[in-house]
Amino acid sequence: MTISVPELKDLPAAAEIIAPIVRKAQIVAFHGEMGAGKTTLIKALCNVFGVRDTVVSPTFALVNEYHDADGLPIFHFDFYRINSLDEACDLGYEEYFYSAGLCLVEWPEKITPLLPPHTLHLYMKTGKEAQLIIRIDIKHKACP
3-state secondary structure the chain: CEEEECCHHHHHHHHHHHHHHHHHCCEEEEECCCCCCHHHHHHHHHHHCCCCCCCCCCCCCCEEEEECCCCCEEEEEECCCCCCHHHHHHHCHHHHHCCCCEEEEECHHHHHHHCCCCCEEEEEEECHHHCEEEEEECCCCCCC
pTM above 0.85, yes or no: yes
The residue ranges of the chain whose pLDDT is under 50 are 140-144
How far lies 132's CA from each of 20, 57, 88, 91, in Å?
A: 20, 19, 29, 32
What is the four-CA torsion angle of 21, 85, 112, 35, rounded to 10 degrees?
A: 70
| CATH homologous superfamily for the domain 2-137 | P-loop containing nucleotide triphosphate hydrolases (3.40.50.300)
pLDDT, residue 2, reads: 81
The bridge status of strand 73-78 relative to strand 63-67 is antiparallel
Q: Where are the domains of the chain?
A: 2-137
pLDDT, residue 126, reads: 76
- Please state the length of the chain: 144
**Each residue of 57-76: pLDDT tens digit?**
887 788 999 999 999 999 99
Between helix 11-24 and helix 38-48 the angle, nearest 10°, is: 70
pLDDT, residue 37, reads: 84
pLDDT, residue 61, reads: 81
